[in-house]
Structure 1
Amino acid sequence: MQMKKSSLCVALVAALGVMTCAQATAGTPWKTTATHAHELAATATAADLADASTPVHIEVVMKLQNRSTLDDFIAASHNPNSAAYHTKLSASDTVAMFSPSAAQVQAVVDHLSKAGFSHITVAPNRMLISADGNAGAAQTAFATRLIKAHDAEGRDAYANIDDAKVPAELADSVLSVVGLQTVSHAHTMLKPADRVGTNATTGVTGHNPTTFPTIYNAGSTPTASTITVGIISDGDMTQPLKDLTSFTTANGLPAVNTQVVVVGTPGTDTSGTPEWDLDSQDIVGMSGGVAKLMFYAANSLSNSALTAAYNQAVSDNQARVINVSLGECETSAHSDGSMAADDQIFALGVSQGQTFSVSTGDSGSNECSKAPRGTTPSYPASSPYVVAVSGTTLTTGTGNSWAGETLWSKAGGSPSTVEPKPSWQTQGGGTTRDVADVAMDADPNSGSIIIVNGSNAQYGGTSLAAPLFAATWARMLAGHSTLGFAAPHLYQVATNSYHDITSGSNGGETATTGWDYASGFGSTIVTNLNSNL
């Protein structure tokens, strides 16, 4: 392996004319960040090296200051015996207490500029520094080489085959560099039904989003009309907004107050339209209406773009609930530094009282590969700072009454391999985060009938489950203004807050009586949850 690295170094210097390999060796004053070499490093050859001019967009992620203080505050804000119980910080509080200094940020900006990066911008909370450059600039700035590759969809991609490093004087400031690989990235978690309104005679059929409050017994629980809800999305939101208007018009609902927040360069992708339709229409239907629906539109589903979108939602601190119907293998997110980056962003959100509702995935117990079967969850569902929402097959009776739920066989749920167990998670075993927390309808055959590109279509997947929970928690916030991050409360309420899911398997985990990895506590009974909080 060392010979392979040496040959790559020689080829790089000859082909790219950038810094020598000696500058990135262990004996030099450079420090490794949380961004590690991509797994393709083991099979890389000199012929795989990316051209120096290969475009690269990065997010340099700064380290939180006073991290232990942040963790202590989060714990205290959910402790009924603490004077800080139910306390939430403002966005300006979090910047003042936990963001890096302007001087620290400027030092990184100067380093990027000197290395050849351009369009350098600093996030309002100073947690991210965005920059455009190329493979040559990445080598100079982070002592890492990039190789040519392809992602799972066959698209051109690149990957770093060395750990990303920074000069020693920046090591106390820089956490990770997200964007040095584009092979591994998030994907949507929706599945189409075979046809609209399937299997009506069995009670497993499609549902208009407006019927979910009846199915999950919202009763007289307040609507979310005073709560702003966010959706992490990507690309062009023109069609999802049109479809949302068609949905509200068709169902006699008031027009939704919407806002699109473009994060970074505006994206043109429209392939995610069904996903954003599913998210938005089911949030509106299940919530009974929201004060505002904010689409945080990244320009792609790359890890760097999504990290920027998460940070924008937290920095804005307008949406009290943010839906994320996305995920990837947590091993990949851990390796490239995006897990470290996103976790501290989510932690800031928790301190502000925000809740990210995240799909657990549609690949069963193992998000990371199809075979052999394993138990590795999806990220960011496995983050200790989000609510992980698994999926069920829903059966209904007369008048959209709830008749039963079993675990949807493709629903994600399994113990994390790397994330620590949060203090509030009182179920499960071991020392790592257990996924899932709750579950909602996800089977495409019992899924949601929405409007996509102007026509009816039926979709499921945990991309349905997450917005159903997001809307449910928005209703809880409307009725209980002091509530913040949902997860600790979900573990403290009486068990009659849930429909316990007791049957079904996702390949590695099985639904059983009480909490389980596959379905968490089960689906919410909205009126009971509301009265038990």
Structure 2
Amino acid sequence: MLTLTVTALTMGLATGVRAAAALSAVQHASASSGTTGFGCAHPSQAGQARCFGVLKAHRTASGRVSPFTTGSPTTMGYVPSDLRSAYKLAGTSGSGRTVAIVDAMDDPKAESNLATYRRAYGLPSCTTANGCFRKVNQSGKASPLPSGDYGWAEETSLDLDMVSATCPGCHILLVEADSADVADLMKAEDTAAATSGVVSVSNSWGGSEDNTVTSFDSHFHHPGVAITASSGDSGYGVSWPASSRYVTAVGGTSLSKASNSRGWTETAWSGAGSGCSAYEAKPSWQHDPGCAKRTVADVSAVADPNTGVAVYDTYNSCAGGSLCDTELQLGLAQGADGWVEVGGTSVSSPIIASVYALAGNTSRVVNGSYPYSHRSALNDVASGSNGFCGGRYLCTAGPGYDGPTGLGTPKGTGAF
């Protein structure tokens, strides 16, 4: 039995006093029976983007799929040492470079949850006080911050933890848009990219394309700053802004430990988004023959919630006390209450943004083209599928380039 979370993704952008439709679509959360979405968009609200985080879940005695809401730093998925091993990042350092995260709404516990995550794995402290962490609104100010949102807070915790895991020495800028509306997210995007010290920006949200998306691409055009965007969690199908020619579109894999020389194996994750854009022009650096326009994705990293990562988040609507986990599992409360195992291309986007920071080469980055001329520094992912497209590379992984995993996953920082 498949469990689907259906979320409206109609996005709007106001220009002066005139509102123009940016996107109009309905996007599905992961259709895997063992997962449940973050709930960071609201079907009743037009003009909302959706984040691409997915909680690993279990089936209760009643047959209901509920998120795992209790655990420990060592039992809830891959940890920083795993990710740095899988992607050959040992010995690399971000040297104080800043990775920016753009999300919607406020996570009131962002800094305290980040501190718990980093302390659990022996990572250096990253706080406002020591200058490593900074949280601002979409205008770049410390206040006023947006209203809190439990689903988007889970996304924020995931993003911050993945930057910490991949690049422990990086500084982190969290830019919180006033809402999940494209108008606010675009302001936050521009703020993030224009902030001194920022070398990469991760976007773990999106929606389906329509004929207006290209008019907003300029918000992702910031030469010298690498912009990454999640490809989506609904399987075969294109998401924007991943389809923008100015971003590195990040697909997803299932990552498993192995006895081979690498120590790991990867296959395409069935939930990763991919495909051929209907509106974005073909970039000069893409040469795949089966798509006349922009193809998604460019590269990838772990995203399968069943081979997920450990995340720490405690912002929830529980009444408090020992019943919180039960309330969350029964759907009587929102949010999380500690360690959870998480997937979705919300995981892979901040990982890749952080690898760009580790590489320290973003002064040469103007779009998603750089990995295409450095393919030898990527792990080719050659099996797995995310849907049905006649067996073509757009939805089926194989040797070389394919839609779900792009050119592959990091093998060190050389491709970035």
In the alignment, the residues of structure 2 paired with residue 211 and residue 475 of structure 1 have an alpha-carbon distance, to the nearest angstrom, of 17
Instruction: Select which of 455, 461, 473 maps to 2:356.
Output: 473
8 Å Cα contact 1:207/1:447 also seen in 2: yes
What SS does structure 2 have at the residue aligned with 1:193?
strand
Given residue 309 of structure 2, which amino acid in structure 1 is its aligned partner? S
1:70-111 CA deviation, whole Å, 9 max, x = no partner?
xxxxxxxxxxxxxxxxxxxxxxxxxxxxxxxxxxxxxxxxxx
In structure 2, the partner of 1:435 is: 296
**Is 1:340 matched with 2:214?**
yes
**Is 1:490 matched with 2:371?**
yes
In the alignment, the residues of structure 2 paired with residue 361 and residue 522 of structure 1 have an alpha-carbon distance, to the nearest angstrom, of 17
Instruction: Select which of 185, 191, 214 maps to 1:306.
Output: 185
What SS does structure 2 have at the residue aligned with 1:226?
coil
- The Cα shift of 1:309 comes to 1.1
Superposition RMSD in Å: 3.0
- What's the TM-score once normalised by structure 1's chain length? 0.59
8 Å Cα contact 2:78/2:308 also seen in 1: yes
**Is 1:282 matched with 2:162?**
yes
- What's the TM-score once normalised by structure 2's chain length? 0.74
8 Å Cα contact 2:163/2:354 also seen in 1: yes
Seen in structure 2, the aligned counterparts of structure 1 residues 312 and 270 have a Cα distance that, compared at 3 Å, is: same
In structure 2, the partner of 1:456 is: 339
1:5-56 CA deviation, whole Å, 9 max, x = no partner?
xxxxxxxxxxxxxxxxxxxxxxxxxxxxxxxxxx99xxxxxxxxxxxxxxxx
Which aligned pairs between 1:371-410 and structure 2 lie closer than 5 A? 377-397=238-258, 402-410=263-271
Structure 1 unpaired stretches of 5+: 1-38, 41-56, 61-111, 113-137, 158-181, 198-203, 367-376
- The Cα shift of 1:205 comes to 8.2
Structure 2 unpaired stretches of 5+: 1-8, 28-40, 59-67, 70-74, 127-131, 315-336, 389-394
- The Cα shift of 1:273 comes to 1.4
Which aligned pairs between 1:317-336 and structure 2 lie closer than 5 A? 318-331=197-210, 334-335=211-212
Instruction: Select which of 493, 510, 515 maps to 2:401.
Output: 515
Seen in structure 2, the aligned counterparts of structure 1 residues 212 and 400 have a Cα distance that, compared at 3 Å, is: farther
Identity of aligned residues (%): 28
Deviates further, 509-518 or 381-390:
509-518
**Is 1:248 matched with 2:118?**
yes
In structure 1, the partner of 2:37 is: none
Seen in structure 2, the aligned counterparts of structure 1 residues 402 and 190 have a Cα distance that, compared at 3 Å, is: farther
- The Cα shift of 1:154 comes to 3.8
Which aligned pairs between 1:74-89 and structure 2 lie closer than 5 A? none
In the alignment, the residues of structure 2 paired with residue 205 and residue 260 of structure 1 have an alpha-carbon distance, to the nearest angstrom, of 27
8 Å Cα contact 2:49/2:207 also seen in 1: yes
What SS does structure 2 have at the residue aligned with 1:194?
strand
- The Cα shift of 1:514 comes to 0.5
1:333-377 CA deviation, whole Å, 9 max, x = no partner?
x34xxx234311222x1x2x11111100001112xxxxxxxxxx0
Seen in structure 2, the aligned counterparts of structure 1 residues 442 and 262 have a Cα distance that, compared at 3 Å, is: same
- The Cα shift of 1:422 comes to 1.3
In structure 2, the partner of 1:214 is: 85
8 Å Cα contact 1:205/1:446 also seen in 2: no
In structure 2, the partner of 1:232 is: 102
Given residue 354 of structure 2, which amino acid in structure 1 is its aligned partner? A
In the alignment, the residues of structure 2 paired with residue 318 and residue 510 of structure 1 have an alpha-carbon distance, to the nearest angstrom, of 38
- The Cα shift of 1:412 comes to 0.3
In the alignment, the residues of structure 1 paired with residue 14 and residue 193 of structure 2 have an alpha-carbon distance, to the nearest angstrom, of 16
In structure 1, the partner of 2:51 is: 188
Greater CA radius of gyration, 1 or 2?
1
Structure with a larger share of its residues in helix: 1
8 Å Cα contact 1:428/1:517 also seen in 2: no
What SS does structure 1 have at the residue aligned with 2:95?
strand
- The Cα shift of 1:470 comes to 1.1
Given residue 281 of structure 1, which amino acid in structure 2 is its aligned partner? D
What SS does structure 2 have at the residue aligned with 1:206?
coil
In structure 1, the partner of 2:320 is: none
Instruction: Select which of 149, 153, 173 maps to 1:270.
Output: 149
In the alignment, the residues of structure 2 paired with residue 219 and residue 254 of structure 1 have an alpha-carbon distance, to the nearest angstrom, of 16
What SS does structure 1 have at the residue aligned with 2:406?
coil
8 Å Cα contact 1:188/1:325 also seen in 2: yes
